[in-house]
């Protein structure tokens, strides 16, 4: 920005304490900030320029806030607040408060070359699922690019609804977006539709698989010329399933009617790989054996009540063996001095000269890392939210605070206590069940102990 009207330490709207800028573009700046009311770290995107010459930027930032707030999906950027206020230096500024995400953009990831095809497909499936949620709400993103896909500690996130439009909305006199990802029909002013997002999704997947978009272009003129050639992209990636390659190329069709929907793409690519789907599979592992056991017991009961069978057959002894999947728990920490990776438990070895025994005492375990303890908290959040014991907005709030702590442990102890106070307040409001609160609070205490040992369980 040509003239900084906001500085580190400024208090915006008497609530958001600006820490440091983390991004800028056009006339807006994104700040890392502290919400003094809810005591959490947030991202504040501020339009801080002369109102008379903002070129409709205030309308766009307001539209971004409204569009993102309409979408209910765990992998869409969370929007908390929008407002207009006077800065400490007397200028009117519009702002939108969003979830602060820690990680890297897909663009940064692609700077190192194409992704392995399973990773590319997983990212595209998640983006497709978010777009499906947006289209159900009548919102077209219109700017699906690697810069607007974030790879975070909590999964893939779709960002920046700054040029989003309602389905059916006519194209502006000037086309907005990034040329290689703009669907051909947008160049001739076609109304906004979900098909335009699906085209961009196809470009995104193609680039993740090959390292470059199918029609590289930096200007609208270059894009026009590339599309006029009629050259059909070819996708040859070793190991990539034929159905996935075909779906990607269908997304790139010049005819919007020939493209799949976002929902179809999510299904083809297998969007059911997130926490909710994993939890469902875990439940199935427990339920299926139990159903089988119930069926076996019922069959035995019916046989016992059959008098004809009793008269005709000698007495027999029936033994039923039921295999029930064990409950899934976090692995214990590795023994001191062992090297582990997340999800791996280092094998223990008996000490020299001691007889091997499974009951032998092990070395004192190393404490959990913040990353592992944070994941344990989020696993509880996933499980309890699926059971309807935690409200969706609370889930997002907890995720935000946990990810912020993992990424930046500054002042961890007071921030852990703030998280615990928030959980207690949410329970009092009925947003978290008593059982979920009890389990979560204990996990947060363990999480806090990875930063400091001064915490004690709340009574």
Q: Are 23 and 33 in contact (CB under 8 A)?
A: no
β-partners of residue 97 are 44, 81
DSSP helix/strand/coil, 365: strand
Q: Are 282 and 328 in contact (CB under 8 A)?
A: yes
Give all strands of the β-sheet with 92-99 in edge-to-edge order: 11-12, 16-25, 28-35, 40-47, 92-99, 79-86
Q: Are 140 and 193 in contact (CB under 8 A)?
A: yes
From residue 74, give the alpha-carbon distance in Å to each of 133, 319, 444. 10, 47, 21
Question: Is 143 noted as a catalytic residue in this protein?
Answer: yes
- The C-alpha atoms of residue 100 and residue 404 are separated, in whole angstroms, by 8
Q: Are 408 and 397 in contact (CB under 8 A)?
A: no
Select which of 48, 129, 143, 397 is catalytic. Answer: 143
Residue holding tokens 């947030």? 42
- The C-alpha atoms of residue 149 and residue 77 are separated, in whole angstroms, by 10
- The C-alpha atoms of residue 42 and residue 32 are separated, in whole angstroms, by 6
- The C-alpha atoms of residue 57 and residue 51 are separated, in whole angstroms, by 9
Q: Are 83 and 103 in contact (CB under 8 A)?
A: no
Q: Are 384 and 397 in contact (CB under 8 A)?
A: no
- The C-alpha atoms of residue 242 and residue 195 are separated, in whole angstroms, by 22
- The C-alpha atoms of residue 72 and residue 38 are separated, in whole angstroms, by 21
Q: Are 254 and 184 in contact (CB under 8 A)?
A: yes
Q: Can you read off the two tokens belonging to residue 179?
A: 């040329």
Element (H, E) at 380: helix 370-386
Q: Are 321 and 297 in contact (CB under 8 A)?
A: no
DSSP helix/strand/coil, 28: strand
Active-site amino acid positions: 143
């Amino acid at each position: 920005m040509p003239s900084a009207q906001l500085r580190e330490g400024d208090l915006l709207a008497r609530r958001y304490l600006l820490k440091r800028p983390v991004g800028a573009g056009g006339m807006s700046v994104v700040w890392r900030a502290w919400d003094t009311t809810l005591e959490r770290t947030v991202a504040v995107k501020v339009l801080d320029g002369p109102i008379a010459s903002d070129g409709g930027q205030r309308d766009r930032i307001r539209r971004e806030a409204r569009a993102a707030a309409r979408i209910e999906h765990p992998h869409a950027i969370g929007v908390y607040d929008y407002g207009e206020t006077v800065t400490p230096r007397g200028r009117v500024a519009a702002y939108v408060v969003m979830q602060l995400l820690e990680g890297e953009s897909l663009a940064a990831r692609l700077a190192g070359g194409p992704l392995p095809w399973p990773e590319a497909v997983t990212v595209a499936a998640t983006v497709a699922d978010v777009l499906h949620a947006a289209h159900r709400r009548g919102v077209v993103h219109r700017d699906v690019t690697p810069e607007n896909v974030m790879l975070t500690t909590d999964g893939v996130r779709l960002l920046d609804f700054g040029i989003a439009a309602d389905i059916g909305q006519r194209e502006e006199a000037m086309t907005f977006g990034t040329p290689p990802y703009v669907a051909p029909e947008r160049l001739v002013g076609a109304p906004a539709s979900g098909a335009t997002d699906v085209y961009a999704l196809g470009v995104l997947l193609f680039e993740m698989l090959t390292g470059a978009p199918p029609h590289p272009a930096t200007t609208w003129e270059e894009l026009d010329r590339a599309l006029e050639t009629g050259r059909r992209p070819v996708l040859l990636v070793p190991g990539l399933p034929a159905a996935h390659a075909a779906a990607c190329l269908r997304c790139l069709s010049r005819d919007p009617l020939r493209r799949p929907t976002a929902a179809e793409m999510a299904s083809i690519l297998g969007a059911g790989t997130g926490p909710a789907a994993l939890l469902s599979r875990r439940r199935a592992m427990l339920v299926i054996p139990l159903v089988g056991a119930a069926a076996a017991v019922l069959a035995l009961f019916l046989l016992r009540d059959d008098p004809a069978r009793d008269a005709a057959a000698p007495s027999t002894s029936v033994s039923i063996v039921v295999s029930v999947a064990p409950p899934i728990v976090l692995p214990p920490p590795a023994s001191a001095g062992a090297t582990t990776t997340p999800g791996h438990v280092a094998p223990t070895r008996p000490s020299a000269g001691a007889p091997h025994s499974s009951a032998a005492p092990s070395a004192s375990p190393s404490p959990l890392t913040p990353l592992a303890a944070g994941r344990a908290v989020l696993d509880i959040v996933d499980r309890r939210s699926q059971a309807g014991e935690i409200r969706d907005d609370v889930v997002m709030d907890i995720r935000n605070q946990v990810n912020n702590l993992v990424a930046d442990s500054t002042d961890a102890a007071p921030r852990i206590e703030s998280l615990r106070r928030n959980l207690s307040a949410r329970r009092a409001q009925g947003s978290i069940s008593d059982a979920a609160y009890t389990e979560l609070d204990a996990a947060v205490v363990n999480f806090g102990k990875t930063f400091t040992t001064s915490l004690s369980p709340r009574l």
